[in-house]
């Protein structure tokens, strides 16, 4: 029986808007509840014996297409959330890291992101990576351009190690809310990931369901092209 080791878990946290709409609430209420779930799942992952990195898709480079008020709410939520989360990061020795083009965010939010990275950089437990204004195609093109500029050979290894996310390939990708697509997330790093889609909307997701999915992952046959 397989017993796969889960080192890098990635999650597309989807369904906040529908969760709120189902309850007759404004979409932003779903984002608020979703942020609480991020804390629960991060804490669970930080206590898990094998997870080293948890990468969460929080805002895509395509999410700018949303109404201005929703975007502003998300930015404010993120700023407050990072401010309040510092305690949790230290309590569980979590290192926070952002990926994506954060230069498009307000100066205040950029500072909050850099300060949180700086404040947690010596924490030795889980690495929590938040994908913010992230797009995988952009990340790949940007990486190749940097390699060319530095006169480094374009190879699979060099691309892998020069990505904004040099944190090892993803073992398991989960997407909540029943949508079954990648939405421009980590295209390079997902080449051999196991993928699990759940109908659960992100605000209803919880550590029990994550545990169930991890058990399912452990028993999958990961062949990487070979036969065994
Ligand atoms: C995911 O939930 C959160 C973000 C993309 C910021 P959505 O806001 O996409 O929720 P649905 O998919 O509309 O239900
Ligand atoms: C993907 O969700 C991005 C995040 C979860 C941050 P979306 O809700 O934006 O994806 P699509 O538009 O349904 O593909
Ligand atoms: Mg969505």
User: What CATH number did the domain enclosing 38 receive?
Assistant: 3.40.1180.10
Answer yes or no: are the C-beta atoms of 137 and 64 closer than 8 Å. no
Q: Give the per-residue pLDDT at 29.
A: 98
Q: Whole-prediction pTM value?
A: 0.97
* Residue range(s) defining the domain that contains residue 201: 8-135+170-218
Quote the DSSP letter at residue 177: T
Tell me, yes or no, whether 223 lies in a domain: no
Taking the chain (228 residues) in runs of 10, the rounded mean pLDDT of each run is 92 98 98 98 97 98 98 98 97 97 97 98 97 97 97 96 85 98 97 97 98 97 88
Q: Give the per-residue pLDDT at 16.
A: 98
Taken as a whole, the chain contains a residue count of: 228
Tell me, yes or no, whether 152 lies in a domain: no
Structure tokens at 62: 């395509």
Look-up: residue for tokens 């996310």? 165
Tell me, yes or no, whether 90 lies in a domain: yes
**Which residues have C-beta under 5 Å from ligand 3, the single-atom ion?**
14
The rounded Å distance from CA 137 to ligand 3 centre is 19
Structure tokens at 65: 């297409």
Q: Give the per-residue pLDDT at 165.
A: 77
Q: Give the per-residue pLDDT at 53.
A: 97
Tell me, yes or no, whether 143 lies in a domain: no
Tell me, yes or no, whether 28 lies in a domain: yes
Tell me, yes or no, whether 153 lies in a domain: no
Total number of domains constituting the chain: 1
Tell me, yes or no, whether 131 lies in a domain: yes
What does the alpha-carbon distance between residue 197 and residue 120 come to, in Å, rounded to a whole number?
31
Structure tokens at 128: 């929590």
Tell me, yes or no, whether 149 lies in a domain: no
Structure tokens at 54: 């948890």
Q: Annotated catalytic sites, by residue? A: 14, 63
- The best mutation among 18, 56, 135, 202 to test binding of ligand 1, ranked by most ligand atoms within 8 Å of the C-beta, falls on 18
* Beta carbon of 184 within 6 Å of any ligand 1 atom: no
Q: Give the per-residue pLDDT at 19.
A: 98
Ligand 2 atom with minimal separation from the 58 CA: 6
């Amino acid at each position: 029986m397989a017993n796969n080791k889960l080192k890098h878990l990635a999650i597309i946290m989807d369904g906040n808007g529908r969760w709120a709409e189902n309850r007759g609430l404004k979409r932003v209420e779903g984002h608020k509840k979703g942020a609480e779930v991020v804390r629960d799942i991060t804490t669970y992952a930080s206590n898990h014996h094998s997870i080293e990195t948890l990468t969460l898709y929080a805002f895509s480079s395509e999410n700018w297409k949303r109404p201005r008020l929703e975007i502003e709410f998300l930015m404010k939520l993120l700023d407050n959330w990072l401010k309040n989360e510092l305690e949790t990061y230290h309590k569980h020795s979590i290192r926070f890291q952002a990926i994506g083009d954060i230069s498009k965010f307000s100066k205040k939010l950029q500072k909050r992101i850099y300060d949180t990275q700086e404040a947690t950089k010596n924490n030795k437990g889980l690495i929590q990576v938040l994908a913010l204004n992230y797009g995988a195609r952009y990340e790949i093109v940007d990486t190749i351009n940097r390699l060319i500029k530095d006169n480094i050979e374009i190879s699979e290894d060099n691309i892998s190690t020069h990505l904004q996310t040099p944190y090892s390939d993803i073992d398991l990708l989960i997407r909540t809310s029943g949508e079954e697509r990648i939405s421009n997330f980590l295209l390079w790093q997902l080449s051999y990931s196991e993928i699990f889609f759940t109908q659960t909307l992100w605000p209803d997701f919880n550590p029990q369901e994550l545990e169930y999915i991890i058990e399912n992952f452990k028993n999958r046959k990961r062949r990487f092209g070979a036969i065994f």
